[in-house]
Amino acid sequence: MRMTDQMRPTSYHRVAKALHWLIAALIIAQFVGGKFMTHLGLGTDEKFFVYQMHKSFGFIILGLSLYRLYWRLTHPVPALPTGMSKAEKAIAPITHWLFYGFMITVPLTGWLYVSAQSGVDTKIFFLIPVFHFPVPESDFWRGAFDNAHSALATAMIGLLVLHVAAALKHHYMSRDETFLRMLPAKEGATGRIAIPAITGALVAVAALYLVVMLVWGEDDHHGPAPTDERTAMEQIGQTSGDPHAWSLLPEESYVQLTGSAFGAEKTVHIDDVAAEIVLDLDHPEEAGAIRARIGLASLDSGEAITNDELKGSGWFSVAEYPAAMFVSDEIIATAQGFVAKGMLTIREVSQPIDLPFTVTMEGVTAVASAEVVVDRTTFGLGGDGAGVTPQVTVTLHIEAEPAR
């Protein structure tokens, strides 16, 4: 039997009201918090915490939205006010069903995005592990899901603004009970107190959001290094005229960084390596020098979010300091191979480094392998947070041929 307007309740059920206001508050907090976490210069530990909390509340919203959809399908809702125009009556159900679509698809696309991030575990409030969808772990899919998540979230907030405007219009202009029937009680002082309070809170949130956007500007992503700095770094080349000079083979040479972040091992590959090398393999003390430039813009962890973090201002600050430098004018022979005593410079911070390495000859090609543990905090990388271990293992694979 079709339910008539007379058979419908005059107000929403208290469960529907609780779900409405709880989900609304969480959505607004998630949107504003999402902008905060991508625009504020958070440290690594803070950013990890905020991202995990953002994901956790996203799952809460998804669960609550699915339950609210079930409640909506199984419980009658109040009839629309009789004074509403035909256009308003046609738009109202479309708006509500669009909201259900957004409340479910926004967290789902976020879930798909983190599923495309290799090595990034998700635990609700750091306690409950969540499975990841079997989606390809690639930049294409990460970008597609990230763009979809952002676009849907923005569209949902736009719809929310229209929804709030319509509710206020019903209360202040049409003077019907559309807004009041979603409050804990329709009569008495509830409406006189609650509605202005809600309006003021929304205005305050909007003002705070605008301040963040105006003050902190663009997202915390970083483009290529300035051309003049990059050009200066690329001036490192072959050392001509020295009989013990070596020409580095850039396609075969790389640097690898390995460390532990939040309980998981992370490996970063850097393939932009240039160097001037002078080395007499038989008498390194007489002819031994290295000038190496490591292009940090090429670093790749296999995870877009980690790459952005490492290139950001809290770590290597690649936009301002596009390269790390290692300079050694003293190389000594040891029982195991060689040690290059020099200075490693990152972000204009220089620290002495003893770099042990071995050299094997493959025809005319010298293959050098090196490994050293560096304390990242001495270079001001990542701060002192406990989430990332201070010790980072630096592994180098260098191939070179005699310079001609």
Instruction: Go through the domains of the chain in sequence order and give each one's CATH number.
Output: 5-216 (1.20.950), 227-402 (2.40.128.110)
Using pLDDT thresholds of 50, 70 and 90, give the confidence band for residue 224.
very low
Three-state DSSP state, 26: helix
For position 3, what pLDDT does the model report? Answer: 56
pLDDT tens per residue, range 264-303: 788 999 999 999 999 999 999 999 999 999 999 999 988 8
Does position 376 have pLDDT exceeding 50, yes or no?
A: yes
pLDDT score recorded for residue 298: 94
At residue 221, the pLDDT reads 42
Angstrom distance (rounded) from CA 257 to CA 373: 10
Name the residue among 53, 49, 41 with its Cα closest to residue 385: 49
Residues 6+ apart with CB under 8 A from 65: 23, 100, 103, 104, 107
User: Would you state the pLDDT for residue 327?
Assistant: 94
Q: How far apart are CA 279 and CA 140, in angstroms?
A: 44
* pLDDT on residue 234: 41
Residue 7 has what DSSP assignment? G
Confidence grade of residue 331 (pLDDT, cut at 50, 70, 90): very high
